[in-house]
Amino acid sequence: MTAKARIAVIGTGWWATYAHIPAVLANPSAELVAVCDADAHRLQAAAHAYRIGRTYTDCREMLAHEPLDGAVIATPHATHYHIARDCLEHGLHVVVEKPMTLYAADARALVDLAREGGRELLVGYPFNYTTHAIRARELIAGGALGDGQFVSCVFNSYNLDLLGGKDRSDHPNAYPVHGPGAVYSQPHLSGGGHGHLQITHSAGLMFFVTGWRARRITAQMRNHGLPLDLVDAMTVEFEGGAIGMVGGTSNARPSKLDLQVYCAQGHVDMDMVVMTTAIRSDGGLREDLGPPVEGEQAYPRFAPVDNLVDIILGRATNGSPGEAGWRTVELLDAAYRSAQAGGLAVAIEELYHV
pLDDT for residue 1 is more than 60: no
Q: Give yes or no: residues 115 and 162 share one domain.
A: no
pLDDT band (50, 70, 90) for residue 170: confident
Q: What's the CA gap between 258 and 155, in Å, rounded?
A: 7
Looking at the fold, whether 106 and 165 belong to one and the same domain comes out as no
For residue 302, being part of any structural domain is answered with no
Give the pLDDT confidence score for residue 292 in this predicted structure. 84
84 lies in the same domain as 187: no
Q: What is the pTM of this model?
A: 0.97
What confidence tens digit (pLDDT) does each residue in 234-249 have?
999 999 999 999 999 9
Asked whether residue 144 carries a pLDDT value surpassing 50, the answer given is yes
- 174: number of Cβ within 10 Å: 12
CATH number of the domain enclosing 218: 3.30.360.10
Residue 106 CA: distances (Å) to CA of 203, 219, 236:
18, 22, 21
The reported pLDDT for the residue numbered 293 is 82
Q: pLDDT confidence of 171, banded at 50, 70, 90?
A: confident
Per the domain annotation, does 313 fall within a domain? no
The mean pLDDT value for 33-43 works out to 98
Percent of the chain having pLDDT more than 70?
99
Residues 6+ apart with CB under 8 A from 204: 98, 123, 125, 127, 128, 324, 325, 328
Please, what's the b/e burial string for 201-229 (b: 16 or more CB within 10 A of its CB; e: otherwise)?
bbbbbbbbbbebebbbbbbbbeeeebebb
CB 63, CB 87: distance < 8 Å: yes
Residue 307 belongs to some domain of the structure: no
Residue 308 is assigned to a structural domain of this protein: no
- Choose one of 68, 98, 125: the last residue of a domain: 125
pLDDT at 178 over 80: yes
Examine the domain organization and report whether 20 and 160 are in the same domain.
Answer: no
User: In this predicted structure, what is the pLDDT of residue 58?
Assistant: 98
Q: What is the pLDDT of residues 214-228, one digit of tens each?
A: 999 999 999 999 999
Domain shared by 221 and 242, yes or no: yes
Do 140 and 30 share a domain, yes or no? no
Q: Is residue 314 part of a domain?
A: no
217 Rama sector, left if φ>0, alpha if ψ -120 to 50, beta otherwise? beta
**Summary mean pLDDT of the chain:** 97
Q: Among 106, 125, 144, give the residue marking a domain's end.
A: 125
Same domain, yes or no, for 132 and 244? yes
In the structure, what pLDDT confidence band is assigned to residue 2 with cuts at 50, 70 and 90? low
63-92, pLDDT tens digit by residue? 999 999 999 999 999 999 999 999 999 999
3-state class (DSSP) for residue 55: strand
CATH label of the domain that carries residue 46: 3.40.50.720
Tens of pLDDT along 318-350? Answer: 999 999 999 999 999 999 999 999 999 999 999
Q: DSSP secondary-structure letter at 86?
A: H
Q: Are residues 22 and 79 in the same domain?
A: yes
| Judgement on whether residues 140 and 120 belong to the same structural domain of the protein | no
Mean pLDDT of 128-133: 97
Percent of the chain with pLDDT over 90: 95
Query: 160 and 70 in one domain?
Result: no
Max CA distance (Å), the chain: 59
Q: What digits encode the pLDDT tens for the residues 44-64? A: 999 999 999 999 999 999 999
* Confidence band for 291, pLDDT divided at 50, 70 and 90: very high
Give the integer Cα–Cα distance in Å for 74 and 63: 16
**Quick check: 281 and 2 in contact, CB under 8 A?**
no
Task: Count the domains in the chain.
Answer: 2
Domain that holds residue 62: 5-125
Residues 110 and 155 placed together within one structural domain of the fold = no
99 and 139 together in one domain: no
Which of 125, 157, 179 is a domain's end point? 125
Whether residue 337 is contained in a domain is answered as: yes
